[in-house]
Amino acid sequence: YMYYEAFEPKRDSILALQYAATKYAVHHLVRACVKWLDDVVTVENVCDIFQQAQALDETDLSSKCLDFITQNGRLVLQKLSFENLSSYCVELIIKQNELCAKEEEVYEAVKGWAQSECARRNITPCAHNMRKML
């Protein structure tokens, strides 16, 4: 890209490419990555894209992802990628008044997230520790 400005990203490396482009201030490449990600948001990848957009302060992409999650809440909450989100991203999602999911589904998703967070921190996933994660 640096020499020819040819942009042919691969699905499995686009997030790393966007991170590197941001880190090294290759602004044209950052914009190309954001546009590409904006066009390929699905239930399968929205959590990963949302987390990266939050981390890199890509507000437009983050807003689009949050809208997508809100509209497809039931499906997104069931994905394993939801359990890998940061606590900040989980909080943003569950605060959405228009989240299309039942309270029970939100509860189960957050419970699964808390168990995963306990595992990431190498602590026992008991009720007390899970509450601390929230």
- What pLDDT digit, counting tens, does each position of 72-113 carry? 999 999 999 999 999 999 999 999 999 999 999 999 999 999
Instruction: Tell me the C-alpha distance between 65 and 41, whole Å.
Output: 7
CA atoms within 13 A on the CB side of 65: 29
At 5, give phi and psi (nearest 5°). 55, 30
The neighbour count for residue 93, using CB atoms within 10 Å, is: 25
Predicted TM-score (pTM) of the model is: 0.90
Domain boundaries, the chain: 41-133
pLDDT at 10: 83
Q: What is the mean pLDDT of residues 59-73?
A: 98
